[in-house]
Amino acid sequence: MAEVFFSCQPIFDNELHHWGSELLFREGLENKFPSVDEDTATSRILSANFLSSANRNADIRYIVSFGESSLLNEIPLAMPSQHLIISVTDDCLPSQELVSKLRSYRSEGYRILMDSKAMDNEWRRHLELVDIFSISMERSNPADWEETITQFSQQVFLARKVETQEELAAAQGYGFALFQGYFFEKPQVVRTDDVAPSVMSLLDVCIIINRTPDDIDTLTKIISKDVSLLYKVIASANILAKTKKNKISNPRQAVVYLGVQSLRRLVSLLIMSNLNHQHAAQLQSVSLTRATFLSSLTLDSEQFNQDEGFIVGAFSMLDVMLSKPMADIIGLLDLSPDVKRALVARSGVYGHLLSLCHDIEHANWNGLLHWCNQLKLNDKAVLKEYEQARDSTSDITSSMQV
């Protein structure tokens, strides 16, 4: 489990309503600029913020910076266009490939942001690609931009580093539409926890995608063995789903829905994000043991099926891994009410099964007998199944450690 820090600075519209926020990777709570490269920083922001948080407002946009490598590898497409504004970093040059890629992003509904320096450098021949220009009030007088804003009437202009009421009024008067700066609110450094998937799991998925992209069964099997990867794949599929009619709650559904291209983008993002992350090995081992155990059981209950049993076990430790309430975490996933009740409140058949797992793990044999009686299970057979699940998990996790 790794701490991820990012600066979150709000952006306001002309009516001073919250329009969105800019996310910037930071080294710690002191708001230090990162020592990692741009692509790694971007990937960690996306992994921690988009794929591990259920608290997004559907109307809020996030500006995230992308370097050339991330843009060419189509990393932005792993995130929904309604939430993401693509900020092109200043070191990107307008190669034919990159220009083509930006056109493609715009056709998919993404908006492109560039610094106003683009008007005077190599990008000046491609300004039709830009939806938002950002201009620092620290370096400019708003009056200097009145003619330019009129000329580029189809684009939106963002005034950065607005420090006073006078600067705000001047920027509004000369046609700026978006505003950011200490006058409104100082940037907050947000700390979150992100659990990195095993590098070996990610590489295995890459290999299968490249060799046999139609092998859904093998892809599903690999993803199901890594709790963090499983969570992020299902979360990504639900984020990208256009409507709630797309009920995505198990690994196979998520793999089929995402398809090869989206899965490749997601894995690329996670590999870059994974650099230098610590692994929550013990917690993942417990989760995978529970998942394997619950999916091996046969219960005389209409409320139980093995696929959902696997998900309940796999996600049962996410609140500990991410240091967040379970209700917030699973809010991002379109799980069945029975699964949600089990994970949040330990109620229902799946909740009783989680309590059974807990009692086995803590050698509470009275608890084991109690839950076996409740669930009409043979206690000796249950212990044997659990031991087999633990041995199977041990083999899997030992082969995945990097």
Model pLDDT for residues 211-231, shown as the tens digit of each residue: 788 889 999 988 888 877 888
What mean pLDDT do residues 34-53 have? 59
**Residue 71: in which H helix or E strand, if any?**
helix 68-72
pTM: 0.54
d(CA 125, CA 118): 9
Q: Is residue 188 classed as helix, strand or coil in its secondary structure?
A: strand
User: Is pLDDT at 210 greater than 70 in this prediction?
Assistant: no
Is 2-193 in CATH node 3.40.190.10? no
Q: Greater confidence, 351 or 54?
A: 351
Burial of 206 (0-12, 13-18, 19+ CB in 10 A): middle
Q: Where are the domains of the chain?
A: 2-193, 195-273, 281-400
Q: Is residue 309 classed as helix, strand or coil in its secondary structure?
A: helix
Model pLDDT for residues 328-380, shown as the tens digit of each residue: 877 766 678 999 999 999 999 999 999 999 999 988 999 999 999 999 999 99
Phi, psi torsion values for 301, nearest 5 degrees:
-150, 135
